[in-house]
Amino acid sequence: MSLKLIVKSLAWRRVTRRYPYEPHPVPEDFRGKVEFDPDACMGCGACANVCPPNAIEVIERPGEGVRVIKLFIGRCIFCGRCEENCPVAAVRQTDEFELASRSREDLEVLLKHVLAVDGEGHVMEYTERELAEAMELLATFEDRELVRKLGEYARMCRSCRVREGVNSIVKSLRPGLGGGEG
């Protein structure tokens, strides 16, 4: 190394940061740790459907009447698809990038959602928040009869909806059972 280069390098300012003693600024569009807003999340599982590394998992526990959304941050590739596809903006990526941990449990986030129950006490396949969101959306439609009918079906479990559908088909095909012609 020449003396000229040494003298020139003394005039240069520092090019490294004193990290971790000074915070490291992140770019404006940085995609860091994924966070859920438990108050906004309705438990639909849209985030899990689009997660390429399956870092978000939906665990159905109908016997307990809950649906669990589980995020394993250790598997996340920070692609941002969960944030883009959440219908209620309950998922967001933060600026946090220091995610090292000594235990696996520190990297797991669990959200529990209560599953809706129909009038007969059957557990439905969607959460109470999903049902409330659907009913709010239905209220914006102008056709009141359609809204009433869809509201009735929305408050039934899958087996009750199937039974109701089969019964209406049978009534329409058999004269004298209250439906059809005859």
Least confident of 28-32, 66-70, 87-91, 157-161: 157-161
Q: What is the pLDDT of residues 116-139, one digit of tens each?
A: 888 888 888 888 888 888 888 888
CATH topology of domain 26-173: Alpha-Beta Plaits (3.30.70)
CA–CA separation, 96 and 28 (whole Å): 12
Question: Quick check: 180 pLDDT over 60?
Answer: no
Average pLDDT over residues 21-31: 86
| pTM, 2 dp | 0.71
Question: Quick check: 49 pLDDT over 50?
Answer: yes
> Where exactly are the structural domains of the chain?
26-173
CA–CA separation, 24 and 122 (whole Å): 52
Name 90's Cβ contacts closer than 8 Å, sequence gap at least 6: 36, 37, 38, 40, 41, 42
Least confident of 43-52, 63-72, 73-82, 172-181: 172-181
